[in-house]
């Protein structure tokens, strides 16, 4: 199993070395300015969403800590029943 994985890695390395030896430039990003603008805009919205989720989770955790410190979740013996 390990031998097969090692051979697979060596084959991938050999293929990448062949591409580097030929000097071919592989384009991995668009050269059209409009498409670049759309990609950057999507990345900005993605990271704003991630930061927003982290802030919301932090607020919820702070609220949970606050309610736990107030001992609201504990039952009291003197609490009136709503029958």
pTM above 0.85, yes or no: no
80 pLDDT higher than 90:
no
Higher pLDDT pick, 73 / 43? 43
Distance of CA 28 to the CA centre of its chain: 22
Q: What is the mean pLDDT of the chain?
A: 83
Amino acid 59: pLDDT:
97
What's the whole-number mean pLDDT along residues 13-24?
73
39, 46 in Cβ contact below 8 A? no
Amino acid 2: pLDDT:
82
Tens digits of per-residue pLDDT, 31-65?
Answer: 888 888 999 999 999 999 999 999 999 999 999 88
d(CA 64, CA 70): 10
29, 37 in Cβ contact below 8 A? no
What number of helices (H) and strands (E) belong to the chain?
2, 0
């Amino acid at each position: 199993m390990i031998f097969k994985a090692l051979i697979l890695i060596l084959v991938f390395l050999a293929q990448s070395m062949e591409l580097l030896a030929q000097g071919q430039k592989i384009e991995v990003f668009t050269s059209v300015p409009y498409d670049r603008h759309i990609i950057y805009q999507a990345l900005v919205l993605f990271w704003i969403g991630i930061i927003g989720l982290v802030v919301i989770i932090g607020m919820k955790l702070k609220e949970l800590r606050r309610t736990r410190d107030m001992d609201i979740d504990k039952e009291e013996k003197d609490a009136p029943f709503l029958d």
